[in-house]
Amino acid sequence: MAAPGVKPISYEAFRQAAEKSGRPYDFEKIDKAYALADDAHKGQVRRSGEAYVSHPVAVAMLLLDLGLDTDTLVAALLHDVVEDTAYTLEQVASGFGKDVAALVDGVTKLGRIQFSSMEEQQAENLRKMLLAMSKDVRVMLIKLCDRLHNMRTASAWPEQKQRDKALETMEVYAPIAHRLGIAGIKEELEDLSLHILDPIGYDEIIELLGQKAKAQEYVESIAAAIQERLAENDVHDPEIRSRVKSVYSIYRKMFVQNRSFEEIYDKYALRIILDTIPECYTALGVIHDMYHPLPNRFKDYISTPKPNMYQSLHTTVISHEGVAFEIQIRTHEMEQLAEYGVAAHWKYKAGVQGQDKLEERLAWVRQLLESQRDSEDSGDLLRHIKSELLPEQVYVFTPKGDVIDLPSGATVIDFAYAIHSAVGNRMVGAKVNGRIVPIDHKVVTGEVIDVLTGSVDKGPSRDWLNIVTTSEARSKIRNWFKKERKEENITEGKTALDKELRRSLVSIPAGDYDELMETVARRQRMNSAEEMYGAIGYGGITIARLMPKIKEEYAKLVKAGDPAETFAIPPKPKQQKASEGVIVEGLGNVLIKFAKCCNPLPGDDIVGFITRGYGVSIHKRDCHNASEANTSPRWVEARWAEGVQESFTSTLEITALDRDRLFVDVSSLLADMRVPVYSLSARRTSDGKAAMNAMIGIRNTEHLNNVIARLRRIKDVVDITRS
């Protein structure tokens, strides 16, 4: 957890730390860089009141911690000189060499990229950023440290700037730190951003963690017990660290995955760092022997590394006192890679393996750029980068046992195209673990997937473009249509366009139709209207992007023809899109989360609380936390959308006279009613009754009442309450 503020570091302190590192730094060059930066920024003051030069020194310090080389430290000291002072890039080049100048130039250019601008431009900017990174990843490392120091001192900024930077950090920089494998920076960036975006949610978790401070002590006692048993099994000198999960990762699990604080098993974790891989597996055996492992929580990332090259064994065990905690087991080298990511390359400079890993880590950037090169729709790139930067990956298997990794949310179609475009193009269905599944089945880690293929001629279906989630599959499907179905694309595209024209009440006189479309096509830099229809057909261009241009041309046409007939595009009905089944008054498609304090269900009377930049949290109107709902402007009216079909979780406390088979009766009734059961537990109370706790998935209040009524009919059930 990062403190919101930091003390400035003096250049002397930085220099001493660099000397202490024992790395062969060129101190003459570093001193010269500091002297230049100090002179260049003379008289400039940060908002927080310190001399400006304290910022580049702090950034250089962060890069020193990552173990980077002389040129990177020099470039860090000079990173704001060209942008903010009278010094030029040529002066930097002549004083410090071409490499340093290229790094400073890269960082300066990245700094000019604004991610809050229009989507189209944003995509182009992201592309530039990835390109810079694929050339020399040190540019990105400097930028990440620059952003980290700025976020640490963000409280000096005006509120709006804090929010903008926090959102950008969350959406762009933290995911990049993750893909580069630098866990420490990623987590700190996320926690600092969350503190700005949802201060209430942040404080809530800090408080919950504080109450569990004793558990931390307890985990340390477990660590001692494990150390003793490892020694008995000839595993010596383990480095054991206990740690608390980052605030943001708990936040995600609570509000995005909708779990309760108690259900998060890995809030507290032990990390065991050993010398060799065999020792890791021995340690795993020893721990599973000491404690009961939770099913489905064991992950072997040593034999199957994550795409960012992360390697470790993960398991979650229950202590004798019933406390669940996560244990990570890895070697020292894996630890270095996990903490420092690509930067570990500079730490392991002597070894060749560092270079290979660096190449592998950057391969995805190049692949992404490659697969997007032919796409006409630049908005596409942004969506795909965002979806591919999302940290969650799933690992599934071919029938032969090969591992395919896909972004979470990927479907069996994505899987087929990940194997080969020929497999995707011939796909007619899929079996998961031997059973036929629908074509939009989302794959889950561990599934064995068998793609069923038909004759070569069939080809993909157009609907698949709406189902697939990876850019690889999407561009392969598009390519197929582009090549194989030219005529069909033109017809499809024209039909779809005409339909949209009718829908938006644009009726172009038949005599003007062709000419108008030719004009629009030329404005899209296409050779003919036919080419444009074709592009619509295979999905290379979207109608939504085309419509404004068609309407513009149409408006010109109508004006020229009859000045009396004023043209008006019918206003778009102000539609409020339901998000998560809730409509928030006055806000469009916003991020919704359901408050944990009162777990609102469809049918309940609800209100929304606008968090700072992080969506709206929905409470029941009678929740004690919503008592200010009528007075504070941060509370807004909210209601359930018609026909909400999503499932919500609800927890029931069932009291019954204790008897045999009670547990079975309850669980089989829930199974008969096809109610998903997330947890079910029973205990005997002091007065001889049985108290059961059932966490179930339900559709709405009516459904819940129905379930409760059926449960009440079970023999010996005394009372049921919704908690």
Residues with catalytic roles: 83-84
Q: Tell me whether residue 146 or residue 414 sits nearer to Mn ion (CB atom).
A: 146
Q: Is 399 exposed, middle or buried (0-12, 13-18, 19+ CB in 10 A)?
A: exposed
Q: d(Cα 355, Cα 104) in Å, to the nearest integer?
A: 23
Alpha helices in 97-242 (DSSP H): 98-112, 119-135, 137-152, 159-168, 174-179, 183-197, 199-211, 213-232
Binding site for Mn ion (CB under 5 A): 80, 146
Q: What is the nearest approach in angstroms of Mn ion to the Cβ of residue 142?
A: 9
Q: Tell me whether residue 80 or residue 604 sits nearer to Mn ion (CB atom).
A: 80
User: The tokens 């590192």 sit on which residue?
Assistant: 21
Spatial CA neighbour of 475 closest among 394, 396, 369, 403: 369
The crossing angle, in degrees rounded to 10, of helices 27-40 and 70-77 is: 10
Q: Tell me whether residue 146 or residue 604 sits nearer to Mn ion (CB atom).
A: 146
Please, how many CA atoms are within 13 Å of residue 698, restricted to the half-sphere of its CB? 23
Q: Phi, psi at residue 222, to the nearest 5°?
A: -60, -40
Residue of this chain nearest to Mn ion (CB atom): 146
Q: What is the nearest approach in angstroms of Mn ion to the Cβ of residue 177?
A: 16
User: The tokens 């620059």 sit on which residue?
Assistant: 146
Q: What is the nearest approach in angstroms of Mn ion to the Cβ of residue 146?
A: 4
Q: What is the nearest approach in angstroms of Mn ion to the Cβ of residue 79?
A: 6
> What is the C-alpha R_g of the chain?
29
The crossing angle, in degrees rounded to 10, of helices 54-65 and 11-20 is: 20
Q: What is the nearest approach in angstroms of Mn ion to the Cβ of residue 404?
A: 40
Q: Which residues contact 348 (CB under 8 A, 6 or more apart)?
A: 333, 336, 354
Q: What is the nearest approach in angstroms of Mn ion to the Cβ of residue 55?
A: 6
Read off the DSSP letter of residue 443. Answer: P
Strand intervals (E) in 493-615: 582-584, 592-594, 606-610
Q: How many CB atoms lie within 10 A of CB 38?
A: 16
Q: What is the nearest approach in angstroms of Mn ion to the Cβ of residue 83?
A: 8
Q: Phi, psi at residue 594, to the nearest 5°?
A: -100, 130
- Here the tokens at position 122 are 């944003």
